[in-house]
Amino acid sequence: MATISRQEADRRARERWAIWRLLLSDMNISWSDLDHMDDDDIAEANAALDIHIKQQNKQNKK
């Protein structure tokens, strides 16, 4: 059972969204991968994911 409230869990997830977004994406990034990444690496990976999503959306519109 969780020891933090739903509200606290929500706050933490929003605070760490850059990390959760990568874990939940189809990029196959693991906790171990993230453990070796600094904030700049995480920002770059999120930017790459944004680019990838935009490219996929363009392909789907064709």
Domain range list for the chain: 9-61
Mean pLDDT of 4-20: 96
Note the pLDDT of residue 2: 74
Note the pLDDT of residue 55: 96
Note the pLDDT of residue 1: 74
Q: Is 10 buried (19+), middle (13-18) or exposed (0-12) by CB count in 10 A?
A: exposed
Note the pLDDT of residue 40: 98
Q: What residue has token string 């789907």?
A: 60
Q: Kindly indicate the confidence band of residue 58, based on its pLDDT and cuts at 50, 70 and 90.
A: very high
Please list the alpha-helical segments (H only) found in 16-38.
17-24, 31-35
Tens-place pLDDT, residues 25-39:
988 999 999 999 999
Q: What is the pTM of this model?
A: 0.82
